[in-house]
Amino acid sequence: MEALKSLNPFTGEMIGSYAQHTTAELEDVIQAAHSTFKMWSQNDHQSRCLLIEKLGAELEKNKHRLALLITGEMGKPLKESLAEIEKCAWLCRHYSMPESSILEDEIIEAGTGSLRLSYEPLGVLFAIMPWNFPFWQVFRFAVPAIVAGNTVLLKHAPNVTACALEIAELFANAGFPKGVMSALIIEAERSEAVIAHTLVRGVTLTGSEKAGRAVAGLAGKHLKKVVLELGGSDPFIVFDDANLQNSCTVGVTSRMMNAGQVCIAAKRFIVQKSAFEAFLRFQTSALQSIRIGDPTDLNTEIGPMARPDLVENIEQQVNRSIEMGAQLVCGGKRSELHPDIYLPTLLINVSKGMPVCDEETFGPVMIAIPFETEEEAIRLANDTRFGLGCSIWTENSERAERVASQIEAGAVFVNSLVKSDPRVPFGGVKNSGFGRELAQAGIKEFMNLKTKWFFQ
């Protein structure tokens, strides 16, 4: 089996080469995770939360080293990598404060006998995770699942294998028993063997539509519980009564974060016609002032994309759309500084059928679409196969409530960018997936709701 390799996308230097687990080693890891589960699931909720608190402390203690590792493996600007580690630590602090009633039995009045509903962890869970937030995506799923009493097998993206191994080491250093969090060094084609394993009880994937279909099919084939967190083409609706400069600043920040490699970034800017030209001026100015360069420089705002093929994909989507009639306002090409840095790009005169409208654009590309009426804004926002998040900007609270109730998405934020937060459930609808992470929903997603009815 070919080793998995990790390359620095800015320098091209090899970070590491990692031998894959053999079939026998893979079996040993799964067996160990199951053996640990039998013990871990019997621990009380509070003791599990105490270890989560220690995990947060490990993240804080090592955040600069960990941030440099993220930046080295996938090219994210260092200040964003630091923010990612800090967010993981915040998540740990949130889950280290157990809510005493969350996993207690629910008493149901049934008139006869004693009826209770119990929440019990499922067992060994298989997590297939992406490279764009190599720590946050893992922690977002794993911490609630582990607090619930499950154990986790992590199959990370090959280009962030060092991050995967570091995550497993962090759990060990925080005092978690061996087998609670285990990194599997395997290529994607070997995932079915893990999903099919009789000791694996659930599967979660954060990734593309294509990967989601494949994993959902395998989970269905082997009758495993599955949660999918897939792509998005989030609308960012701006009404003419909004603060245009503020909404534009927030929108550009949302879209350009992580070189646009964010599933919940604002991607389709749907702006009321009477404010459209002014909004475009703000957008263009903001995009042209973004600092690009070496991601280890704390002043850099956009560095290289994570892999050369990702730059090629976004380049092709933009070029095909321009050929079909889209108008380029700024950007639209690679930086002369580095071939894997794609310049912040804005397109207008876009329409259905163009790649930048129909597909998820996973790079620093934004499109702006004018609308006239509230009904048209809602139609444009929902005219996508995705349904992850939506941001609405207006000073009219009644309008905001009206529009939010008609948006087909897992989350709607008013006068703010869409973000994942430990306090609220996260997930999408339509082709953006199903199931939820974070909050109480994230704890209970991979638990068995058991009915216990006692008759005298």
Catalytic residues, by residue number, are 229, 263
Closest to 116 measured CA to CA, from 108, 127, 124? 108
Q: Is 247 exposed, middle or buried (0-12, 13-18, 19+ CB in 10 A)?
A: buried
- With beta carbons less than 8 A apart as the criterion, state whether 155 and 131 touch: no
State the amino acid at position 7 in one-letter form.
L
* DSSP structure class, residue 302: B
Closest to 196 measured CA to CA, from 217, 168, 174, 212: 217
How far is it, in rounded angstroms, from Cα 223 to Cα 246?
48
Burial class (CB in 10 A: 0-12, 13-18, 19+), 49: middle
For 151-168, the DSSP string reads: EEEEE--GGGHHHHHHHH
Query: Which H/E stretch holds residue 182?
Result: strand 181-183
The set of long-range contacts for 370-374, using a CB threshold of 8 Å and a minimum separation of 24, is 370/271, 370/272, 370/273, 370/276, 371/270, 371/271, 371/272, 371/273, 372/272, 372/273, 374/239, 374/399, 374/402, 374/403
409: tokens are 């998405």
Question: What long-range pairs does 86-89 form, CB within 8 A, spacing at least 24?
Answer: 86/59, 86/60, 87/136, 88/56, 88/59, 88/135, 88/136, 88/139, 89/56, 89/57, 89/59, 89/60, 89/63
Q: Which residues contact 51 (CB under 8 A, 6 or more apart)?
A: 174, 175, 176
Answer left, alpha or beta for residue 353, where phi above 0 means left and psi between -120 and 50 means alpha: left
Residues near 210 by beta carbon (within 8 Å), at least 6 away in sequence: none
Give dist(CA 392, CA 247) in Å, integer.
Answer: 9
Residue 121 is classified by DSSP as: E
Which pair of tokens denotes residue 34?
């199951």
